[in-house]
Chain A
Amino acid sequence: MISQFFILSSKGDPLIYKDFRGDSGGRDVAELFYRKLTGLPGDESPVVMHHDGRHFIHIRHSGLYLVVTTSENVSPFSLLELLSRLATLLGDYCGSLGEGTISRNVALVYELLDEVLDYGYVQTTSTEMLRNFIQTEAVVSKPFSLFDLSSVGLFGAETQQSKVAPSSAASRPVLSSRSDQSQKNEVFLDVVERLSVLIASNGSLLKVDVQGEIRLKSFLPSGSEMRIGLTEEFCVGKSELRGYGPGIRVDEVSFHSSVNLDEFESHRILRLQPPQGELTVMRYQLSDDLPSPLPFRLFPSVQWDRGSGRQALNVRLHLPLPRGVVSLSQELSSPEQKAELAEGALRWDLPRVQGGSQLSAPLLPPSFNGPPSHGLSTSAPPLGLGPASLSFELPRHTCSGLQVRFLRLAFRPCGNANPHKWVRHLSHSDAYVIRI
């Protein structure tokens, strides 16, 4: 049972406030929440807070605080799940979730909240049921973008860009306005993996953990069936092995309840009729045995260790240094890169790393009596150095090796051209730690 729901901006300004039961406080609860949150001592958790018979439970999502208050001892799992579902729902209806979109669509948000929750009880969160009741249309701002110009193409010729969807293409409201018929039928399918790795100082792997997700965002009219074909070598659990090539194995898989698994056993095909909006089709986990080698290695230096032709983006190395190190001299290979000292640690930013390349950054802290680069040749490294952690994004690469073979739609829209289908593969780091 929820008493109030509110959305605060990252600076604590209330954007949305709704009181469902009229039994508590008033608008200043939102302010109270923010004061409590900012005044919290470092070792206490802000997720659930208590004040005067009222529990505040919140999540942070795209820079916003989504908060509910309740006076009862409720299930925290359900409430957090509801909050993240609300975040997705608002994102679906407003295009994307953010301070700007929320404040442009206040009426729509209130209308949604009215339907989702009644008297503090969840009624429904399915996009399908809600769309019958929602009258307001989303206001989307279309900022001027150079991309629009470039995709027009010279003399009407098709350019390379027009075959690639802009990265912001998926962030638009699900409900196409009823008047606008030119809306594209599009499907976005993302295979996203989060990698957390721990490598010991001698290079041996201590922990590998891959959390993968297949996310689908559909703008097709609901009820249209689609089939997603996964790599045939894909297998679940340790016992099963398929094909002769290197198997792609994951430890645990869970599917969304709307997925039909009839063809999964034989052909690794997922059949589903997705509702409009975002949906996590499949989640999987893989630990310890990784089929492909790890993307980065750090001997004395960081090495990007995959086939050429690919690249990693936004690589950042974070290396705590012993206290007393106040400055360091650097020789970096390109001006794009940046290395700086902050809060007793080294930060080395590499906007782009080409596949197969080996980078070195001879960094020499003056007060540090060691070999020029952190060589492992001599004695053990001093205490207080390391462990180094990397953060990065690897487009078009999955660490488990899982690929989407095809995405077929049974549905043919009348009049319109074939629906656009976009498939992305992406790995990014959750924690990539290398002990020195």
Chain B
Amino acid sequence: MPYLGSEDVVKELKKALCNPHIQGDRLRYRNVIQRVIRMPGVQEYIQQPILNGLRDKASYVRRVAVLGCAKMHNLHGDSEVDGALVNELYSLLRDQDPIVVVNCLRSLEEILKQEGGVVINKPIAHHLLNRMSKLDQWGQAEVLNFLLRYQPRSEEELFDILNLLDSFLKSSSPGVVMGATKLFLILAKKFPHVQTDVLVRVKGPLLAACSSESRELCFVALCHVRQILHSLPGHFSSHYKKFFCSYSEPHYIKLQKVEVLCELVNDENVQQVLEELRGYCTDVSADFAQAAIFAIGGIARTYTDQCVQILTELLGLRQEHITTVVVQTFRDLVWLCPQCTEAVCQALPGCEENIQDSEGKQALIWLLGVHGERIPNAPYVLEDFVENVKSETFPAVKMELLTALLRLFLSRPAECQDMLGRLLYYCIEEEKDMAVRDRGLFYYRLLLVGIDEVKRILCSPKSDPTLGLLEDPAERPVNSWASDFNTLVPVYGKAHWATISKCQGAERCGPELPKTSSFAASGPLIPEDNKEREQEFPDSGALMLVPNRQLTAEYFEKTWLSLKVAHQQVLPWRGEFHPDTLQMALQVVNIQTIAMSRAGTRPWKAYLSAQDDTGCLFLIELLLEPENSEMQISVKQNEARTETLNSFISVLETVIGTIEEIKS
């Protein structure tokens, strides 16, 4: 290898690079640059040939040289940006060769990473738009991505651009179509009807990708379909047949399709969709069968009667893997939709013979305990479990059994007293698992206190329909995910993506990197857009609230009195609500509740606290006056930092806004 040697080899190399013949042989020229560029210490030799290459007559050499600039820059990460070089690259955006143009954008993006990437101003944007048709599909997709950061000045200009882009929505390359769609969605941020229109037009290409021969493409398209469905639930309803599974498809595609079917169900297609899902329940693959049953359970929240009937029929199959999932589905369903309790109670008898696993047993025992008064043979089923408690392997099942039996004892004391005694005796005297024993002792002492006390503690509500609302995310506006469209975010799923970017974020926030670089390093996102995302997803952005930072009430009071109000705001608020819901929602974003008035009291007050990862403390008071329909928010902060304060307030606003929406 001539490149790895001593001083004179480098000299030789330098000579070779200046040799016009070698430059004439494009292939060799390019390969030399490609390899040499990875070696530290040759920069001084490589610089001149690359700069010459930028002005070479052959477009092939220019392409390589343009990217060579980026390689050179990255090799010396700490070196300052060469202004002349940047200007030269900007001027090369007007090059004749389309690939040189795209390479210039890529190269500038890398060189100017610290400053936030290449700047797309009006002349550049329009120049690129006009050159679009000359590019191949890869270039088009890339330029569309760069154009995302351009903000048109006027409405007129905006619609001019949209008209220019129109033809790319019809491209035969899915990458270009999706890139154009994303650009449409972002540019038409303020025009929801334009966004809806674009999503209608992209329906065809997306559906074609969903039934494409390439499974990978199909999977990615399905993920995007789900993303769209979150905002426009009815969008694909008439095409539900496209999402029926075929038996030869791999597991992960089937699961996605079932999820999509679940989400697009409406009054017209519910019959057919359920019919199809029922077919999957008897699938040879147990995993897929279970996923299908859970899906029916999900649909049951809206179309309860039909689904409960199907689920009941499935119990008739008497197969373990099906019965256990059906019973678990019933448990969740009864909690969310109390109106189906009667039907579930009638279906339950007999299925205890076909349940062997822990989850299924727990679900069944819970149902028998809570709704035991409606199931005639409930005590006898539980008695079987009590008989066999010694051979029971799962501690969780034993705990569930204790609670269930005690609950049933309250409603049917005569039938349960004897076996409750036996179970308690076993748990306290013979059981080895500490948690079970503790639970047994606890119930024993509770019973000693008196039956009224037991009732007060165990007779909790038997259902909570509001939980379903919290679980079901409300329809999200298109703008909340437009910037994630055509990226990896929908493919991973938002939750998984958050963990991924969190670990990446942790790596980036190391001391050696300045803050701006971590900002730009987050990829092809545009700066303006970044800001928005931070507001929407405070957990992954600048503000990081620390979980479980519970302050004592005294400390809170002391700090509250010593600080001044940093921010005060009034939000619209109407009608009654459940304070627990609010508390739970705040908990999700790591805002702790210190104290809260009871529901219905006027004026209603709540004191909250939160702390971010830098130690900055926020104290909040919520005040609901009886006469006006507004909620007053006062925030105090122990360090005066407006940035974090602003992002914190937007978090709080989002939470309260969400609760307000759920309520109405």
Residues of A in contact with B (beta carbons under 8 Å apart): 1, 22, 42-48, 50, 53, 55, 57-60, 72-78, 80-84, 114, 118-119, 121-126, 133, 135, 194, 196, 198, 206-207, 209, 211, 252, 254-257, 283, 285, 287, 318, 320, 323, 343-345, 383-384, 387, 389, 391, 430-431, 433, 435
Alpha-carbon distance A255/B171, docked complex (angstroms): 9
Known interface pairs A43-B255, A75-B179, A125-B136; A198-B217 also in contact (CB < 8 Å): no
A-binding segment of B3-11, B12-20, B63-71, B79-87: B63-71
Known interface pairs A196-B246, A207-B241, A389-B247; A48-B283 also in contact (CB < 8 Å): no
User: Which residues from chain B contact A431 at a C-beta distance below 8 Å?
Assistant: 245-249
Say which residue of B145, B171, B279, B319 sits within 8 Å of A323 (CB atoms): B319
Task: Tell me if B67 and A121 are in contact (CB < 8 A).
Answer: yes
User: Which residues from chain A contact B291 at a C-beta distance below 8 Å?
Assistant: 43
Interface centre among B487, B496, B507 (most CB of A within 10 A): B487
Task: Tell me if B214 and A84 are in contact (CB < 8 A).
Answer: yes
The verdict on B103 contacting chain A, using a C-beta distance below 8 Å, is yes
The verdict on B638 contacting chain A, using a C-beta distance below 8 Å, is no
In the assembled complex, the CB of A216 is this many whole angstroms from the nearest CB of chain B, namely 14
Q: Which of B493-515 contact A (CB under 8 A)?
A: 496, 500, 503-504, 507
Task: Tell me if B63 and A123 are in contact (CB < 8 A).
Answer: yes
Interface of A is mostly: mixed
Alpha-carbon distance A188/B496, docked complex (angstroms): 46
In the assembled complex, the CB of B650 is this many whole angstroms from the nearest CB of chain A, namely 23
Task: Tell me if A320 and B252 are in contact (CB < 8 A).
Answer: no
Task: Tell me if A383 and B317 are in contact (CB < 8 A).
Answer: yes
Task: Tell me if A194 and B213 are in contact (CB < 8 A).
Answer: yes
In the assembled complex, the CB of B29 is this many whole angstroms from the nearest CB of chain A, namely 12
User: Which residues from chain B contact A343 at a C-beta distance below 8 Å?
Assistant: 284
Task: Tell me if B172 and A256 are in contact (CB < 8 A).
Answer: yes
Alpha-carbon distance A361/B429, docked complex (angstroms): 63
Interface centre among B204, B249, B282, B313 (most CB of A within 10 A): B282
User: Which residues from chain A contact B141 at a C-beta distance below 8 Å?
Assistant: 75, 78
User: Which residues from chain B contact A209 at a C-beta distance below 8 Å?
Assistant: 211, 241-242
Task: Tell me if A75 and B487 are in contact (CB < 8 A).
Answer: yes
The verdict on B525 contacting chain A, using a C-beta distance below 8 Å, is yes
Say which residue of A55, A81, A135, A194 sits within 8 Å of B488 (CB atoms): A55
Q: Which residue of A lies closest to B75 (CB)?
A: A22
Interface centre among A47, A198, A433, A435 (most CB of B within 10 A): A47
User: Which residues from chain A contact B38 at a C-beta distance below 8 Å?
Assistant: 22
In the assembled complex, the CB of A55 is this many whole angstroms from the nearest CB of chain B, namely 6
Task: Tell me if B136 and A124 are in contact (CB < 8 A).
Answer: yes
Q: Which residue of B lies closest to A383 (CB)?
A: B317
Task: Tell me if A42 and B287 are in contact (CB < 8 A).
Answer: yes
In the assembled complex, the CB of B263 is this many whole angstroms from the nearest CB of chain A, namely 17
Q: Which of B72-115 contact A (CB under 8 A)?
A: 99, 102-103, 106
Q: Which residue of B lies closest to A40 (CB)?
A: B252
Known interface pairs A53-B504, A80-B217, A124-B99; A211-B211 also in contact (CB < 8 Å): yes
User: Which residues from chain A contact B175 at a C-beta distance below 8 Å?
Assistant: 75, 77-78, 81-82
Alpha-carbon distance A389/B106, docked complex (angstroms): 49
Residues of B in contact with A (beta carbons under 8 Å apart): 26-27, 31, 34, 38, 63-64, 67, 70-71, 99, 102-103, 106, 136-138, 141, 145, 170-175, 177-179, 204, 208-209, 211-217, 219-221, 241-242, 244-249, 251-253, 255-256, 272, 279, 282-284, 287, 291, 313, 316-317, 319, 486-489, 491-492, 496, 500, 503-504, 507, 522-525
Which 3 pairs between the two chains have the least Cβ-Cβ distance? A431-B246, A78-B175, A45-B252
Task: Tell me if B272 and A206 are in contact (CB < 8 A).
Answer: yes
Q: Which residue of A lies closest to B287 (CB)?
A: A42
Q: A45-B491, A78-B179, A123-B99 are in contact. List 9 more A-B contacts (CB 8 A).
A: A77-B221, A78-B141, A82-B138, A121-B106, A133-B27, A198-B244, A252-B204, A389-B247, A430-B246
Say which residue of A73, A121, A256, A430 sits within 8 Å of B103 (CB atoms): A121
Task: Tell me if B283 and A320 are in contact (CB < 8 A).
Answer: yes
User: Which residues from chain B contact A50 at a C-beta distance below 8 Å?
Assistant: 492, 496, 500
Interface of B is mostly: helix
Task: Tell me if B252 and A433 are in contact (CB < 8 A).
Answer: no
Interface centre among A78, A83, A252 (most CB of B within 10 A): A78
User: Which residues from chain B contact A283 at a C-beta distance below 8 Å?
Assistant: 172, 208
User: Which residues from chain B contact A320 at a C-beta distance below 8 Å?
Assistant: 282-284
Task: Tell me if B317 and A391 are in contact (CB < 8 A).
Answer: no
Query: What are 23 of the A-B contact pairs (CB < 8 Å)?
Result: A45-B219, A46-B252, A47-B216, A50-B492, A55-B488, A72-B523, A73-B488, A75-B179, A76-B487, A77-B209, A77-B220, A77-B221, A118-B34, A119-B71, A123-B103, A198-B244, A206-B272, A209-B242, A211-B208, A285-B211, A344-B284, A430-B246, A430-B248
User: Which residues from chain A contact B208 at a C-beta distance below 8 Å?
Assistant: 211, 252, 254, 283, 285
Task: Tell me if B524 and A73 are in contact (CB < 8 A).
Answer: yes
User: Which residues from chain B contact A135 at a C-beta distance below 8 Å?
Assistant: 27
User: Which residues from chain A contact B215 at a C-beta distance below 8 Å?
Assistant: 47, 60
Say which residue of A53, A252, A345, A389 sits within 8 Å of B507 (CB atoms): A53
Alpha-carbon distance A204/B341, docked complex (angstroms): 36
Known interface pairs A76-B220, A119-B67; A257-B172 also in contact (CB < 8 Å): yes
In the assembled complex, the CB of B459 is this many whole angstroms from the nearest CB of chain A, namely 38
Task: Tell me if A122 and B138 are in contact (CB < 8 A).
Answer: yes
Q: Which residue of B lies closest to A111 (CB)?
A: B27
User: Which residues from chain B contact A252 at a C-beta distance below 8 Å?
Assistant: 204, 208
Alpha-carbon distance A50/B491, docked complex (angstroms): 11
Task: Tell me if A387 and B279 are in contact (CB < 8 A).
Answer: yes
Say which residue of B317, B507, B525 sits within 8 Å of A73 (CB atoms): B525
User: Which residues from chain A contact B255 at a C-beta distance below 8 Å?
Assistant: 43
Alpha-carbon distance A44/B172, docked complex (angstroms): 29
User: Which residues from chain B contact A83 at a C-beta distance below 8 Å?
Assistant: 216
